[in-house]
């Protein structure tokens, strides 16, 4: 089918071209579904969030070194995509701030790994250090197995003790599994 006005991805490419001089991290990296074998995604952030993230490094004296990174996905923000967001709490502003967001086809290990790798690449570009790795005091996420696998794949086994699940998502997971068990135990007539 011919699209005379282009595709949705064309619109993102055009937007990236218009804003790259304002902030090269606004649309830092993207991959269209027809470009290669990797899932389609669009990774977005900004320079001020990259600077704040560097302050989160637990091995430095940055003012954000005690703050966790929160990872969560929304399933209804962008049609046919999952929006995975990396958040943190800013103690001075007393607000939750979005460090980066990525729209990706699926919330799975591959998509979350791309988020972590791309986030590190952005920080390497920002700091000028080729080996720079995001190093927060910890990660907080839901019970989705892909969160743990992707964090482990990118940051190594040493980071796993620093990965925590939030109470809300933990309770939600327990309730969901309890309902499944109840349904399995009900007598079938």
pLDDT bracket for residue 15 (50, 70, 90) = confident
What pLDDT sits at residue 14? 87
More confident residue, 103 or 177: 103
Per DSSP (E only), the strands in the chain are 29-31, 41-44, 69-78, 81-90, 95-104, 139-141, 163-165
**Residue 5 pLDDT class (50, 70, 90 cuts):** very low
Domain residue limits, the chain: 8-185
Q: What average pLDDT does the segment 99-118 reach? A: 93
Q: What is the pLDDT of residue 59?
A: 94
Measure the CA dihedral 62/67/69/70, to 10°: -160
Confidence of residue 119 (pLDDT cuts 50, 70, 90): very high
Summarised one tens digit per residue, pLDDT across range 23-82 is: 999 999 998 876 677 888 999 999 999 999 999 999 999 999 999 999 998 888 778 889
């Amino acid at each position: 089918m011919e699209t005379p006005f282009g595709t949705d991805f064309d619109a993102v490419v055009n937007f990236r071209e218009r804003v790259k001089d304002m902030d090269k991290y606004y649309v830092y990296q993207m991959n269209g579904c027809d470009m290669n074998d990797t899932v389609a995604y669009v990774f977005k952030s900004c320079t001020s969030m990259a600077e704040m993230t560097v302050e989160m490094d637990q091995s430095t004296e940055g003012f954000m070194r005690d703050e966790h990174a929160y990872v969560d996905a929304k399933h209804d923000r962008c049609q046919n995509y999952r929006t995975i967001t990396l958040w943190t709490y800013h103690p001075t502003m007393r607000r939750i701030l979005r460090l980066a967001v990525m729209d990706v086809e699926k919330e799975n290990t591959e998509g979350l790994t791309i988020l972590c790798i791309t986030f590190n690449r952005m920080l390497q570009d920002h700091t000028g250090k080729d080996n720079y790795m995001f190093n927060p005091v910890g990660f907080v996420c839901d019970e989705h197995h892909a969160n743990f696998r992707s964090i482990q794949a990118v940051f190594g086994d040493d980071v796993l003790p620093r990965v925590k699940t939030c109470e809300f998502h933990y309770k939600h997971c327990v309730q969901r599994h309890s309902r499944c068990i109840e349904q399995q135990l009900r007598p079938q007539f």
